[in-house]
Amino acid sequence: MGLYDYTIYSIIKRNARVSTNRTCLISGTQRVTFAQFQEKVDRLSCGLLDAGLKRGDRIGVLGHNSVEYLYLYGAAARTGAILIPINWRLDPEEIKYVISDGTPKMLFVGSEFQEMMKGLLPQFDFVEKSYTLDRANGSFAAFNDLMVKIGFCPHADVCSDDNYVIIYTAAVGGKLRGVALSHNNLIASNVQTMYHLALTPHDVHLLVLPLFHLAGLGTALSVLQSGGTNVVLPKFDVDSALQHIKDDRISVFGTFPPMLKTLMESAQAVNADLSSIRHVFGLENPDIIRKFQEMSGATFWTAYGQSEISGLISFSPYFERPGSAGAPSFLVEVGIVDDHGNMLEADQPGEIVVKGPMVFSGYWNLPEDNAYTSRGGWHHTGDLGYFDTDGYLWYSGRSPEKELIKPGGENVYPAEVEKVILEHPAIEDVVVIGVPDSKWGEAIKAVCVKKKDASLEEAELIEFVADRIARYKKPKYIVFTSSFPRNEDGFIVREKVKEEYLKF
């Protein structure tokens, strides 16, 4: 490390010194202090280095949230490795693509995914060693095999601008893209979150959003940097969540639909005490937000962000300016530009552009995409919006080149689903759009033109898609039509299709 470097591992060392015996992690009955967390990270780092890991090597992780997962995040920070957290909701072919693109030297796999990975491992000659996230199991060595060394472990020369994590986000043109984030990116994001939520060492975060998602990882790191406690849940379970809220006095968590609605209904049924909760953020409709705030007294935060900008760059309590995405934070510059890159004034809609220390290092192995996205000295988000006269950001959709659907908080590009649907022999043409959904926030609808004399049922096409990509990307609705509106060049006018079929 150089004179001006400060990394995620710097945070771990600082906490071990100033909060030695405070609780860092809770998982079931297991409690880990900050000093113990550093010791576990150091042991794992030594084991990884002895196993041949070097600075810049990638570590792939496919598994549910666990303390071992967080130890790996810590060890990557110490050794200068780059973690690739793999979305376990992806289809096996998509998981294969992520691993092939990221080329991790080591792979860690949870027990739930080991059968699938056994069939894929022979295709990855770059994976030198594979481990479980728990005990040994056939093709996978035990995680604890890496935790046995005690004593001196050399420090890698890690810089704060080094890539720390690659998060694969929604496919553009049918391919997932790896968003490379540095230590500096995430620390800047942590500082903003700590400021807006006024996080302290007394805060307790329910880590229920997956660690492959920046909403889960980012909040966990923000609470870690503040010296607070992360309560680790493998995945959302309402009974476990309520028990931890009661026993551990949870104060902050993130949510995707329909988690908050489920939590409220269960809390009402058992008359659960939600008074410890101070802050919640996520995607929800106003009625659920209002009911939750009445039940708990907590603040629900509205925000705007994306993986490429290390998380959230605008924040506000929801009812401070209902419907907005909040006001830009203080470590980011946000602008609205027209199609020619000219900056626009208040109330003029255009593309949201960003600059500052949270903007990502770039897409992994995609130099042309990086040059295009960062044109004009700004990161172009591909999202549309405007500022009101008070400086609040209002999100107004996706640009035509980057239409995006978010069912349950996941990112799905229409082009990715359309590509699969067009593989069906009965389909002539298709337009995929997002429609409002009371449970998931947004749902996928496919408007299809069948080939002449073809016979095909809606349910059959839905399962056809579900068998080929992640099931959360399958359409919830299928509509058949005889033709699409087209312009003079013969191209489908997508906006007219959306206008006609937005409602079910």
Task: State the Cα angle at 335 between 331 and 339, rounded to 5°.
Answer: 150
Specify whether the CB–CB gap between 111 and 49 falls below 8 A: no
Structure confidence by residue, pLDDT tens digits, 263-305:
999 999 999 999 999 999 988 888 899 999 999 999 999 999 9
Q: Please state the rounded mean pLDDT for residues 415-428.
A: 90
Phi, psi of 156 (to 5 degrees): -80, 155
Give the helix/strand (H/E) hosting 170.
strand 163-172
Q: Please state the rounded mean pLDDT for residues 10-36.
A: 97
Residue with tokens 């960062």: 374
Q: What is the pLDDT of residue 480?
A: 95
Question: What are the tokens at 149?
Answer: 């060394």
> Which residue from 331, 337, 320, 332 is spatially nearest to 387, judged by alpha carbons?
337
Torsion angle defined by CA atoms of residues 308, 310, 311 and 315, in that order, rounded to the nearest 10 degrees: -110
Q: How far apart are CA 493 and CA 173, in angstroms?
A: 19
Report residue 367 CA to chain centroid gap. 22
Q: How far apart are CA 10 and CA 29, in angstroms?
A: 28
Structure confidence by residue, pLDDT tens digits, 38-89:
999 999 999 999 999 999 999 999 999 999 999 999 999 999 999 999 999 9
- Least confident window among 128-137, 185-194, 398-407: 398-407
Q: Which domains, from first to last, does the chain contain?
A: 8-235 (3.40.50.12780), 299-401 (2.30.38.10), 412-501 (3.30.300.30)
Per-residue pLDDT at 173 exceeds 90: no
Q: What is the pLDDT of residue 358?
A: 97
- With H, G, I as helix, E, B as strand and everything else as coil, classify residue 66: coil
At residue 156 the predicted structure's pLDDT band, cuts being 50, 70 and 90, is confident
At residue 489 the predicted structure's pLDDT band, cuts being 50, 70 and 90, is low
Residue with tokens 């082009």: 415
In sequence order, the 6+-apart residues with CB closer than 8 A to the CB of 101 are 168, 176, 178, 364, 365
At residue 253 the predicted structure's pLDDT band, cuts being 50, 70 and 90, is very high
> Which residue from 31, 26, 39 is spatially nearest to 204, judged by alpha carbons?
26
Per-residue pLDDT at 196 exceeds 70: yes
At residue 241 the predicted structure's pLDDT band, cuts being 50, 70 and 90, is very high
Per-residue pLDDT at 159 exceeds 70: yes
Structure confidence by residue, pLDDT tens digits, 425-452:
999 999 999 998 888 888 999 999 999 9
Q: Please state the rounded mean pLDDT for residues 318-342.
A: 93
**Percent residues over pLDDT 70 in the chain:** 96
Q: How far apart are CA 370 and CA 362, in angstroms?
A: 6
Q: Please state the rounded mean pLDDT for residues 161-169.
A: 97
Mean pLDDT of the chain: 92
At residue 504 the predicted structure's pLDDT band, cuts being 50, 70 and 90, is low
